[in-house]
Chain A
Amino acid sequence: QLQLQESGPGLLKASETLSLTCTVSGDSIIGRYFWGWIRQSPGKGLEWIATISHSGKTYYNPSLKSRVAISVDTSKNQVSLNLGSVTAADTALYYCARQYPYNWNPNWVDPWGQGALVTVSS
C-alpha cells in the first residue's frame, strides 16, 4: 500500500525558505503518476501548490510560482518542495500527494499524506 510521509522544519521565520520532503513507500515514484503538494491554511480551504510529472515536467500555482520549486530524488524515492521568502500567510498544513494524470493534466489526487504543519513567525 502506498504511503506518503511529509517532513519539514515545523517552525521558521519570515523571509526564510521552507523546505519539505515527502518520502514515498510502497511504490516507486518512477512510474506513470504525478506527485504534488497541497496546503491548507488555518481556517481556510485547500490550495494546490505544485505538481511534478513522471518525466520531470513541473506545474505551479500561478500565485506562488515565483517562490516555489518542486523536485524529485529518485534514488531516495522522495519528492521535495521549496518555498522561498515565506511570510505568516504561508503558515499551513502541507500535504504531499500522488496525482493521476489525464492527458498530461494533474488530475485526481490520491492518496494524501498526513500533512506537515508549518508555522511562520514574524
Chain B
Amino acid sequence: NFMLTQPQSMSESPGKTVTISCTRSSGSIVSSYVQWYQLRPGSAPTTVIYEDNQRPYGVPDRFSGSIDSSSNSASLTISGLRTEDEADYYCQTYDISTHVVLFGGGTTLTVL
C-alpha cells in the first residue's frame, strides 16, 4: 500500500489562510477520492471535505479542497481562520486495488 503524508503541525493567525497538504507516496492521487476530517477533543470527527472538493451540508465555504496531479497531493485550504478551526485534520483515501482505507498521519492546526 501507499502512504499519505501530512505536515505534523501548522500554525496561523486568526483571519489568515492556511493550506494543509496530503501527499501520496505512490500511485496517482487522482485514482481515488480524498476526504478531510476535523477532530476536536471530546467531539466525534466530522467531515469538512469529501470526494476531493465537496463540502458537506453545514460546512462553511471557508473550507475548500483541491487535487494537484503534479505534486501528487491533495490540499485542504481554510480561509478566514477562526479560533474554533483549531483542531487535528486528517486526509483519507482508499486503495482501489486492495480496497484498503488509508489515513494520513494528521496535522495539528493551531490558530493564535
Contact = CB atoms under 8 A, between A and B. Distances in A.
A107 B100 CA distance: 10
Interface of A: 36, 38, 40, 45-48, 51, 59, 61-62, 95, 99-100, 102-115
A65 B71 CA distance: 32
B44 A111 contact: yes
A107 B32 CA distance: 9
Please classify the interface of chain A as helix (H, G, I), strand (E, B), loop, or mixed, using the class held by over half of its residues: strand
Interface stretch (B20-28, B62-70, B79-87, B89-97): B89-97
Among B45, B94, B101, chain A packs the most CB atoms within 10 A around the CB of B101
Interface string B40-71: 00001111001100001000000000000000
A45 B90 contact: yes
B46 A109 contact: no
Interface of B: 1, 32-33, 35, 37, 39, 44-47, 50-51, 56, 90, 92, 94, 96, 98-106
Top 9 closest pairs, chain A to chain B, by CB: A48-B101, A46-B103, A45-B106, A108-B50, A110-B47, A112-B44, A112-B45, A105-B94, A59-B99
Contacts of A38: 103
A104 B92 CA distance: 16
17 contacts: A38-B103, A45-B90, A45-B105, A45-B106, A46-B92, A48-B100, A48-B101, A61-B100, A99-B101, A102-B94, A105-B96, A106-B101, A107-B33, A107-B35, A109-B45, A110-B46, A112-B46
B9 to A, nearest CB: 13
A95 B44 contact: yes
A51 B33 CA distance: 17
Contact of A103 (B51, B56, B96): B96
Contacts of B104: 45
B44 A113 contact: yes
A109 to B, nearest CB: 7
